[in-house]
């Protein structure tokens, strides 16, 4: 995961951020109001219970009478029933807000991610996005729902308690409440320190998880380096840091609780002393004394809760910032309003307005750079007639995919135009272009689900027969039928229950089913066994036939059969022409080709020996 994630956010309260959050929470305004009301009621009732005790002491115990005890009991039962109902309501409503809000924001986030351009995914690690979409959104939902619960309950109880105490005996109330400001200050300080301490623990904990991961995955290498002792020593430093900071976090909390209790008992002590004198001097009733004792024993709770929420708000603010920054990212490649007007957007295409596609591709004076100032393509021109096959050749990392990325409009040229059938593709929608381009990657990516579902990804309304036909065309049918459940076999997460060769064939079938006019193939370098290799070669030839194709080629047969070859080196097209022309030129292509020729033949001979 990104180091970005570990950044500390300790900015003060950020009003704009909370305004934004309110916008997202707006659909839940009625629930939120109801929740606030329930919590206020609950806090209020909690403050009333000591009053009931006071009544019992002053009206039954002291005078020794029992009149109305049943009514008194009944009122008590009513109050606790209301309180239990409040608890039920509050959990249900807060739960509804929490789960609903998380759902909404996740949905918006996912939709946004589908719109974002490649440049975003190139810069942002998947782990970072995952963390935003899961834990940060979760925390945001929790804060809004449960933060409000604690906030309302704490405030209501504080206000009600203070009010009742002042009403019962304002002098005694003022004296005992004098510890509250100290209590509040101490709580706010400690809750912050405690939160920071636990955050530190979590950070080290994730480092430990990383260290275990690395230790286990790298164990073979460690063994060959005989580095076990050094590794263990480094790991021990980490676990010792973990122990140290965990103990520290607990110790801080262990100081906080006694301090709060001591402050609370100062309050109780004051009541016992001054209130007791009042009882002896008959200025205060026994009941009032009892009520005051109850209040002083419970009033640190709401203060503790409030202090905790304020500390946590800062943490949630960091989550909110990260989530909103993702939601507000603008895609680099965007359809203009006119285009959307005419052809529809990503989610509601107006297919009826889509022009048919022939498959001519033109790069006209195209320049491009990923980073400012580092041009990887300059004034590039290329004219491809519908049905032609273009091979892109060069070493790993030479920049072959740049041309493909531009063609698919994953990126747009910084200067010049890419034209499809003679029209700048920015005048058409992205979805129109991408629906007409088939794309097969060198590392095929499948989704969890069955084989059939994966092939059907190419054309969602294809019938079973069409799916099978596509599989047959690329010679995938035979191996699929040998799978346990044929087309209904689950491929596993990312397709990991299939071999690389099998995944490649399925991804070919998927592309064939889409029946695109333009086809992009990023050929695999990884070696599969010879038999599969033959089948794949065969499939490639079939797929390319009759379509405008761009192939990032590694295999000689694919290269040789291309109509034209672009040789790419250090991000630039250094040579172009047919295989024959390029060989004659005896330049860079000649070297690449002979190397590849040797590699392939060697492999061939090796595998013959094996059989």
> Per CB under 8 A, does 102 bind other proteins?
yes
Contact between 269 and other proteins (CB under 8 A)? yes
- Give me the helix-helix angle, 148-168 and 29-56, nearest 10°: 30
Of residues 22, 33, 77, 182, which one binds other proteins by CB under 8 A? 77
Q: Which residues face 389 on adjacent strands?
A: 549
Cα gap 125→304, rounded to integer Å: 39
Question: What is the closest distance, in whole angstroms, from the C-beta atom of residue 210 to other proteins in the complex?
Answer: 7
Q: In the complex, what is the shortest distance from the CB of residue 14 to other proteins, in angstroms, rounded to a whole number?
A: 27
Residue from the set 17, 48, 56, 528 that interacts with other proteins by CB under 8 A: 56
| CA-to-CA separations, 563 to 202, 255, 406, 537, 551, in angstroms, rounded | 58, 78, 20, 17, 11
Gap between the Cα atoms of 274 and 293, Å rounded: 11
Identify whether the C-beta of residue 359 lies closer than 8 Å to the C-beta of residue 550.
no
3-state SS, residue 424: strand
| Nearest one of 170, 187, 314 to 253, comparing CA atoms | 187
**Is residue 84 a contact residue for other proteins (CB under 8 A)?**
yes
Q: Per residue, what are the HEC states of 21-34?
A: HHHHHHHHHHHHHH
Question: Six-digit token pair at 121?
Answer: 């995914």
Owner of token pair 């309501």: 89
Which of 232, 330, 381, 534 is the binder for other proteins (CB under 8 A)? Answer: 232
Bridge-partner residues for 519, per DSSP? 438, 549
On the 0-12 / 13-18 / 19+ scale of CB atoms within 10 A, 334 is: middle
* Closer residue to other proteins in complex, CB, 83/329: 83
Residue with smaller CB distance to other proteins, 17 or 263: 263
Stretch that binds other proteins, among 67-75, 159-167, 179-187, 323-331 (CB under 8 A): 67-75
Least separation in angstroms between CB 589 and other proteins: 12
Which candidate, 134, 150, 127, 129, places its Cα nearest to that of 102? 134
Q: How far is CA 481 from CA 142, 486, 536, in A?
A: 49, 4, 17
Q: Is 119 in the site for other proteins (CB under 8 A)?
A: no
- Helix, strand and coil percent figures for the chain, each rounded to 5: 70, 10, 20
Strand (E) or helix (H) holding 416:
strand 415-420
Closer to other proteins by Cβ: residue 1 or 22: 1
Residue 19 C-beta: closest distance to other proteins, Å: 25
Exactly one of 14, 155, 162, 222 binds other proteins (CB under 8 A); which one? 222
Site string for other proteins, 2-21 (x = CB under 8 A): xx------------------
Using CB under 8 A as the binding rule, whether residue 531 contacts other proteins is answered as no
Under rule CB under 8 A, residue 80 binds other proteins: yes
Residue with tokens 């109801």: 34
**Least spacing, CB of residue 456 vs other proteins, in Å:** 10
Q: Does 170 bind other proteins (CB under 8 A)?
A: no
Residue in 185, 216, 423, 481 binding other proteins, rule: CB under 8 A = 216
Query: Is residue 545 near other proteins by the rule CB under 8 A?
Result: no
Closer CB to other proteins, 130 or 423, in the complex:
130
> Which residues inside 356-395 make contact with other proteins, applying CB under 8 A?
395
Q: How many CA atoms lie within 13 A of 120 on its CB side?
A: 18
Tell which positions 577-596 bind other proteins, by CB under 8 A.
583-584, 586, 590-591, 594-595
136 or 317: CB nearest other proteins: 136
Q: How many residues bind other proteins (CB under 8 A)?
A: 157
Measure the N-to-C terminal CA separation of the chain; round to a whole number of Å.
45
The DSSP code for 2 is -
d(CA 454, CA 449): 7
| Rounded least distance, CB 213 to other proteins, Å | 5
Whole-angstrom Cα distance, residue 566 to residue 561? Answer: 13
Q: Does 71 bind other proteins (CB under 8 A)?
A: no
Contact between 258 and other proteins by CB under 8 A: the answer reads yes
Residue with tokens 């809750």: 191
- Binding to other proteins by CB under 8 A, coded x per residue (else -) over 23-52, reads -----------------------------x
Q: Which is nearer to other proteins, 182 or 481 (CB)?
A: 182
Distance CA 43, CA 38 (A): 9
167 binds other proteins (CB under 8 A): no
Binding to other proteins, residues 468-497 (CB under 8 A):
493-494
> In whole angstroms, what is the distance from residue 278 CA to residue 275 CA?
5
Site for other proteins in 292-311 (CB under 8 A): 293, 297
Q: Binders of other proteins among 330-349, rule CB under 8 A?
A: 346-349
In the complex, least distance from residue 234 CB atom to other proteins, rounded to whole angstroms: 10
| Binding test (CB under 8 A) with other proteins, winner from 22, 171, 273, 341 | 273
The one among 37, 115, 203, 369 contacting other proteins by CB under 8 A: 115
Which secondary-structure segment (H or E) carries 378?
Answer: strand 374-384
Residue 148 touching other proteins (CB under 8 A): no
Q: Tell me the closest approach of the beta carbon of residue 56 to other proteins, in angstroms.
A: 5
Q: Nearer Cβ to other proteins, position 310 or 588?
A: 588
Does 174 help bind other proteins (rule: CB under 8 A)? no
Asked if 182 interacts with other proteins (CB under 8 A), we say: no
Distance between CA atoms of residues 395 and 525, nearest Å: 11
Between 75 and 481, CB nearer to other proteins = 75
| 544: three-class secondary structure by DSSP | helix
Q: Which is nearer to other proteins, 290 or 468 (CB)?
A: 290
The correct pick among 17, 34, 37, 106 for binding other proteins (CB under 8 A) is: 106
Say how far apart CA 250 and CA 268 lie, in whole Å: 27
- The CA distance from 556 to 525, in Å, is 12
Least CB distance to other proteins at residue 502 (A): 16
CB half-sphere exposure, 41, CA atoms < 13 A: 17
């Amino acid at each position: 995961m990104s180091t970005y994630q570990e950044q500390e956010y300790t900015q003060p309260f950020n009003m704009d951020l909370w305004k934004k959050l309110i916008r997202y929470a707006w659909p839940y305004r009625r629930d939120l109001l109801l929740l606030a009301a329930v919590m206020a009621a609950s806090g209020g009732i909690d403050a009333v219970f000591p009053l009931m005790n006071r009544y019992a002491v002053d009206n039954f115990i002291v005078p020794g009478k029992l009149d109305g005890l049943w009514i008194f009991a009944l009122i008590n039962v009513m109050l606790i029933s209301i309180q239990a109902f409040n608890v039920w309501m509050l959990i249900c409503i807060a739960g509804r807000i929490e789960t609903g809000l998380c759902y909404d924001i996740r949905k918006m986030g996912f939709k946004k991610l589908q719109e974002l351009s490649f440049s975003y995914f190139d810069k942002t690690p998947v782990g970072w996005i995952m963390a935003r979409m899961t834990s940060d959104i979760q925390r945001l939902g929790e804060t809004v729902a449960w933060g409000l619960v604690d906030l309302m309950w704490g405030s209501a109880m504080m206000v009600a308690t203070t009010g009742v105490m002042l009403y019962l005996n304002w002098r005694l109330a003022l004296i005992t409440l004098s510890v509250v400001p100290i209590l509040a200050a101490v709580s706010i300080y400690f809750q912050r320190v405690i939160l920071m301490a636990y955050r530190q623990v979590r950070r080290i904990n994730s480092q430990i998880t990383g260290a275990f991961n690395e230790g286990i995955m790298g164990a073979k290498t460690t063994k060959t380096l005989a580095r076990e002792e050094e590794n263990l020593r480094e790991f021990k430093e980490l676990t010792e840091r973990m122990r140290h900071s965990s103990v520290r976090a607990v110790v801080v909390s262990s100081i906080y609780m006694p301090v709060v209790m001591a402050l609370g008992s100062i309050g109780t002590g004051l009541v016992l002393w001054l209130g007791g004198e009042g009882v002896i001097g008959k200025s205060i009733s026994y009941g009032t004394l009892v009520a005051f004792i109850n209040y002083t024993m419970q009033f640190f709770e709401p203060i503790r809760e409030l202090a905790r929420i304020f500390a946590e708000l800062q943490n949630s603010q960091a989550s909110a910032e990260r989530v909103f920054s993702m939601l507000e990212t603008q895609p680099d490649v965007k359809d203009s309003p006119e285009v959307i007007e005419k052809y529809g957007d990503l989610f509601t295409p107006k297919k009826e307005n889509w022009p048919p596609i022939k498959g001519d591709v033109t790069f006209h004076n195209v320049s491009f750079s990923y980073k400012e100032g580092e041009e990887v393509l300059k004034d590039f021109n290329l004219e491809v007639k519908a049905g032609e096959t273009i091979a892109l050749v060069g070493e790993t990392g030479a920049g072959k995919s740049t041309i493909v990325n531009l063609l698919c409009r994953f990126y747009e040229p910084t200067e010049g135009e890419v034209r499809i059938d003679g029209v700048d593709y920015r005048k058409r929608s992205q979805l129109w272009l991408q629906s007409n381009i088939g794309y097969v990657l060198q590392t095929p990516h499948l989704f969890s689900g069955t084989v059939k579902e994966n092939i059907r990804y190419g054309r969602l309304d294809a019938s079973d027969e069409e799916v099978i036909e596509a599989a047959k065309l690329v010679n995938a049918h035979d191996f699929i039928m040998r799978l346990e459940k044929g087309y209904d076999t689950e491929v596993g997460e990312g397709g990991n229950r299939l071999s690389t060769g099998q995944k490649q064939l399925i991804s070919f079938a998927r592309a064939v089913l889409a029946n695109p006019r333009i086809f992009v193939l990023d050929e695999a370098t990884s070696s599969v066994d010879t038999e599969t290799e033959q089948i794949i070669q065969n499939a490639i030839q079939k797929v390319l036939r009759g379509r405008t194709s761009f192939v990032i080629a590694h295999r000689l047969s694919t290269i040789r059969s291309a109509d034209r070859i672009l040789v790419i080196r250090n991000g630039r097209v250094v040579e172009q022409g047919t295989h024959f022309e390029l060989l004659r030129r005896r330049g860079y292509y000649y070297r690449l080709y002979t190397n590849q020729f040797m590699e392939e033949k060697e492999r061939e001979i090796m595998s013959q020996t094996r059989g």
